[in-house]
Amino acid sequence: MANSKINSAFELLLNEANDLCIGTEVLEVFNIPKPIEFAREYYAKQRPVVFRNVLSSWKALQKWNGDYFREHLGQKLVDVAVTPNGYADGLATRHQDNKEYFVLPLEEQITMESFLDHLDDAMGAVYYIQKQNSNFSLDFPELTEDIDTSLLDFAQHCFNKPPDAVNFWMGDEKAITSMHKDPYDNLYCVISGHKDFILFPPHCLPWIPKRLYSTGVYKRNDETKKYYIEPLLQTHYNENNDVISYGPEPLLTEWISIDPLSPDLEKYPQYSKIQPLHVRVNAGDLLFLPNYWYHHVRQSHKCIAVNFWYDMEYDSRYCYYRMLEDLAASKATG
Ligand SMILES: O=C(O)CCC(=O)C(=O)O
């Protein structure tokens, strides 16, 4: 199909969505809804909504902060993501070849006490507890009683399955999660501080540039303590799924090219056609973020959050989305 035809179809998509107010606001609600209300108004329509101040009965709200963790979990080993610039899983230029890479963080295990010291070191590297492998359930059993998950039943009834992962997040204002989307419906609960989300609905895909990047990982030089990017190579497996070799091809990762905090509109003029949504989620608030919504996240100093990821339903909406991906890619390649 000619690019001009694809473009006018994309324009139709955006105009229809805007006329119908689809993906044009983040709703605010001041109570926990009934399950049927959540299912009908938010989940079925895949509308993001912040439930304000609904977590106040959680003990975590009163207890969790840097001082409490230092006193009660000070010697506990925690897995942290370390980066020189605050972008764990983000784009950065590797000066050796002046090429942009998708870079994974350096992963370290340190004590909670040492982690908290790093958060207070304004000049140092950026430390973030952000392992998305259900690290809350796996690594913090001593904190689970501070969270009453029955409060989330209104949504769990609707998802009709347990969460695939429950993640714990703690970091400072330099830690930024670059824009991406997830195949999960997300209940994001802020316990201390605030998080600032920038959102785009899934149908904005054609205007959000992305491409394949070589993948790297941050390493730290033992002597100079300087960080550098080490390129990663593709892994090759045999028929039993054992690793047999690496490379020589670089490992590639598809990632979003634009930074919503300073979009390069000369390079990506199409991005100006879409409007980001901004929402601050404060301590005690719960954000329902539907699957495949693009999100970019910043936070206040020592912000603490727990989120619940539920596997998305692979329904017709997903199929339309895949078609859109294919159309946008065929347009990009001409
Ligand atoms: O809190 C963050 O930094 C990122 C959260 C996120 O990306 C998610 O919950 O999917």
Span 226-236, average pLDDT: 96
**pLDDT for residue 331 is more than 90:** no
How remote is the CA of residue 148 from the centroid of ligand 1, in Å?
21
Closest-lying ligand 1 atom to the alpha carbon of residue 186? 9
Q: What is the torsion angle, in degrees rounded to the nearest 10, for the CA atoms of residue 97, residue 100, residue 102 and residue 108?
A: 50
Q: Is 169 in the pocket of ligand 1 (CB under 6 A)?
A: yes
pLDDT digits (tens, 9 = 90+) for 307-322: 999 999 999 999 999 9
Q: What is the three-class DSSP state of 264?
A: coil
Q: Give CA separation, 97 vs 44, 100, 253, in Å.
A: 47, 9, 18
pLDDT of residue 3: 86
Q: Is 188 in the pocket of ligand 1 (CB under 6 A)?
A: yes
pLDDT of residue 247: 81
Q: Which CATH number fits domain 1-332: 3.40.640.10, 3.90.76.10, 2.40.50.100, 2.60.120.10?
A: 2.60.120.10
pLDDT digits (tens, 9 = 90+) for 240-267: 989 888 889 999 999 999 999 999 999 9
Q: Is 182 in the pocket of ligand 1 (CB under 6 A)?
A: yes
The answer to whether the pTM exceeds 0.85 is: yes
Span 66-74, average pLDDT: 97
Contact 145, 59 (CB under 8 A): yes
pLDDT digits (tens, 9 = 90+) for 269-309: 999 999 999 999 999 999 999 999 999 999 999 999 999 99
* Dihedral over Cα of 205, 208, 214, 220: its sign: negative
How remote is the CA of residue 126 from the centroid of ligand 1, in Å?
16
pLDDT digits (tens, 9 = 90+) for 137-186: 999 999 999 999 999 999 999 999 999 999 999 999 999 999 999 999 99
> For the chain, what are the domain ranges?
1-332
Closest-lying ligand 1 atom to the alpha carbon of residue 180? 7
